[in-house]
């Protein structure tokens, strides 16, 4: 969960988010190298009192500053394309869940089980307990088994919403009349929080998302209590 002192990404809870963080660090390292080189050149130009009045062109330096950025872009593009393919849709998910955005709450439906659907509302501030998170906790948490390839089908019933869980590296628009799909695998148990990331009305800030990743046995026990 993000706090006021969180300046970087949240700790990842899925392999895809780990890869996103690795790519971010890789790109930032290249940007720091470029920024340092440009800053050094600016400093040397300001400190240098000599000028070449007869310099009209420089084929060598122009060739270098054309080829070098192309090579740098290749070093950024190749990991980016690899990551795009890793984030692509999967064909054989182990579990499918459908989530529907409403004004202003989320409803969930486990497509692999009959009659398993529920609504998830934010817990009102006056009903908060010490064990809950203000403006983030919900009355019905969504349980998901760990080490399971999940497919989430996302849509909306009224206006645009956005289903977002930063720790999973997942963000997809919920569009009325359209199904969007995201896939992920949770690699550790815990509570993962998200919020609607598309301005959807007066209570846009009050429709949080809470996923609880648990081992398979507690998940099956939870299913038995509901079905």
The CA distance from 21 to 27, in Å, is: 10
Provide the domain count of the chain: 2
What are the two backbone dihedrals, phi and then psi, of residue 170, each rounded to the nearest 5 degrees? Answer: -120, 130
CATH number at residue 210: 2.60.40.420
Structural domain including 212 reads 95-226
For 83-117, the pLDDT digits (tens) are 888 777 667 788 889 999 998 999 999 888 877 88
For 176-208, the pLDDT digits (tens) are 999 999 888 888 888 899 999 999 889 898 999
Does residue 31 fall inside a structural domain?
A: yes
Does residue 207 fall inside a structural domain?
A: yes
- Mean pLDDT, range 35-52, rounded to an integer: 88
Whether 71 and 157 share a structural domain: no
Of the candidates 208, 225, 205, 218, the one whose C-alpha atom is nearest the C-alpha of residue 120 is 208
Tokens for 24? 């971010």
Does residue 9 fall inside a structural domain?
A: no
Tokens for 56? 């009209």
The CA distance from 102 to 207, in Å, is: 9
Whether 107 and 209 share a structural domain: yes
Whether 26 and 120 share a structural domain: no
Whether 110 and 211 share a structural domain: yes
pLDDT over 70, % of the chain: 96
The CA distance from 164 to 221, in Å, is: 27
216 to 1, 103, 143, 170: CA distances (angstroms): 23, 32, 10, 22
Whether 131 and 218 share a structural domain: yes
Does residue 220 fall inside a structural domain?
A: yes
């Amino acid at each position: 969960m993000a706090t006021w002192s969180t300046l970087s990404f949240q700790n990842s809870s899925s392999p895809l988010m780990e890869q996103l963080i690795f790519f971010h660090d890789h790109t930032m390292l290249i940007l720091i190298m470029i920024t340092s080189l440009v800053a050094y050149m600016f400093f040397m130009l300001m400190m240098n009192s000599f000028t070449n009045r007869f310099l009209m062109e420089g084929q060598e330096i122009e060739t270098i500053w054309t080829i070098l950025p192309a090579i740098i872009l290749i070093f950024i593009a190749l990991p980016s394309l690899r990551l795009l393919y890793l984030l692509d849709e999967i064909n054989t998910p182990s579990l499918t869940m459908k989530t529907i955005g409403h004004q202003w709450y989320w409803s969930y439906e486990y497509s692999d089980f009959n009659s398993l659907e529920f609504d998830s509302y934010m817990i009102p501030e006056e009903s908060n307990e010490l064990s809950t998170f203000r403006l983030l906790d919900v009355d019905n948490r969504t349980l998901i088994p760990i080490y399971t390839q999940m497919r989430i089908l996302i849509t909306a019933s009224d206006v645009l919403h956005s289903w977002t869980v930063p720790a999973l590296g997942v963000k997809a628009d919920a569009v009325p009349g359209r199904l969007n799909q995201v896939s992920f695998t949770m690699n550790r148990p815990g509570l993962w929080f998200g919020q609607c990331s598309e301005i959807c009305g007066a209570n846009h800030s009050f429709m949080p998302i809470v996923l609880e990743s648990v081992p398979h046995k507690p998940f099956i026990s939870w299913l038995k209590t509901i079905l």
